Amino acid sequence: MAMFWKKDKKAGERDYQKERLTMVEEQLRRRRISDPRVLEAMAKVPRHLFVPGDYQNSAYEDRPLPIGEGQTISQPYMVAIMTQSLELKGREKVLEIGTGSGYQAAILAELARAVYTVERISSLTQSAQKVLHDLGYQNIFFRTGDGSKGWPEEALFDGIMVTAGAPDIPQTFKDQLTEGGRLVIPTGPRYTQTLFKLTREGEQFVEEDVTGCVFVPLVGDHGWKEN
Ligand code: SAM
C-alpha cells in the first residue's frame, strides 16, 4: 500500500482531496458501490496524477477522459463497480488487462497482494510505470504485449479484470483463473458492451450481467483485429 496523502495539495492549488471525497459520496456511494475497502481506495488514490495536464481539473468528474494514443481512463464509477465485482479481501493475485493510465492498477494494488498488468501500447506502459513508481507502489508488475492471451507464465490469478471490450469471453482468461476466482470483462459489439462477472466453480463458470458499458476495444489474438 503506497503512502502519499501529504503530497496531494500545496497552498493555492485546487483541493483535489476534497474533490475526490465528493466523487466518492456522489458518484459511488449513492450508486451501487458499498464495499468499504473499494470506497477507501477510491478516496485515497490521486486520480488527477493519472491524466494528462490539460485534463487534471476534470479528473474527478463523472466520465472517462482521454489519456493519449486514442485511449481512455475509465469513469470513476466503472472503475469502482469493476473493482467491487472482484470481491478482493487483500491476499489475491490479480491480473489487469489494459494498463492505460495505471489508475485502475493503483486501485487494485491497494486492495490485493499483487497486480500483474498488461498493456499493448508501450508508451502507456512507460508512463503508467513512472507515476505508479513515483507514488511508491511496489506490488505492481508490468508487461507490454497482447493481453488478450492473459499472462500464462504468472497464472493462476484470483481475479482477472479486462478493461477493454472483447467480442466474446476468451477461454484464455477462464483457463488462468483459480478455483473460486472472478473474471470481470466487458463483452459485446464494438461500440456497446455488457460488463460480465464470471466466477469459477470447478470447470463451470457462474455468469452475471453487471451493467451496460462502453469500452475501447481489446485488440489482439483473442479480441478484435486491428482496424
Ligand atoms: N485501466 C486503464 C486505466 O486505469 O487507465 C484504462 C484502460 S483503457 C479503457 C483500455 C486499455 O486497453 C488501453 O490502454 C488499450 O491500449 C488497452 N488494450 C487494448 N487491447 C489490449 C490488449 N490486447 N492487451 C493489452 N492492452 C490492451
**Per 3-state DSSP, what percentage of the chain is helix, strand, and coil (rounded to 5)?**
35, 30, 35
Please give the share of the chain, as a percent, with pLDDT higher than 90: 93
pLDDT score for 64: 97
| Section 198-209 average pLDDT | 97
| Section 218-224 average pLDDT | 97
pLDDT score for 1: 52
In degrees, rounded to 5, the angle at the alpha carbon of residue 3 between the alpha carbons of residues 143 and 135 is: 35
Pick from 71, 81, 15, 24: which is nearest to 48 by CA?
15
Give the residue extent of every domain in the chain. 78-213
**What is the pLDDT confidence band of residue 13, given thresholds at 50, 70 and 90?**
confident
Q: Ligand 1 in contact with 220 (CB < 6 A)? A: yes
Query: Class of 78-213 per CATH?
Result: alpha beta
- Grid cell, residue 185, equals 470483462
Q: Ligand 1 in contact with 85 (CB < 6 A)? A: no
Provide the 8-state DSSP code for 20. Answer: H
Pick from 79, 68, 69, 10: which is nearest to 41 by CA?
79
Going by alpha carbons, the residue nearest to atom 2 of ligand 1 is 100
- Residues marked as catalytic: 74
pLDDT score for 10: 61
Does the pLDDT of residue 6 top 80, yes or no? no
- Asked if 150 contacts 181 with a C-beta cutoff of 8 angstroms, the reply is no
> Best of 48, 50, 94, 99 to mutate for ligand 1, by most ligand atoms within 8 A of CB?
99
pLDDT tens, residue by residue, 107-147: 999 999 999 999 999 999 999 999 999 999 999 999 999 99
**What is the pLDDT confidence band of residue 9, given thresholds at 50, 70 and 90?**
low
Please give the share of the chain, as a percent, with pLDDT higher than 70: 95
- Asked if 115 contacts 94 with a C-beta cutoff of 8 angstroms, the reply is yes
Going by alpha carbons, the residue nearest to atom 19 of ligand 1 is 218
- Asked if 101 contacts 120 with a C-beta cutoff of 8 angstroms, the reply is no
Cα–ligand 1 centroid distance for 99 (angstroms): 5
Q: Ligand 1 in contact with 100 (CB < 6 A)? A: yes
pLDDT tens, residue by residue, 43-92: 999 999 999 999 999 999 999 999 999 999 999 999 999 999 999 999 99
Q: Which residue has the higher pLDDT, 11 or 145?
A: 145
Does the pLDDT of residue 5 top 70, yes or no? no
**What is the pLDDT confidence band of residue 12, given thresholds at 50, 70 and 90?**
low
Cα–ligand 1 centroid distance for 75 (angstroms): 14
Q: Ligand 1 in contact with 27 (CB < 6 A)? A: no
Cα–ligand 1 centroid distance for 100 (angstroms): 5
**What is the pLDDT confidence band of residue 194, given thresholds at 50, 70 and 90?**
very high
Does the pLDDT of residue 195 top 60, yes or no? yes
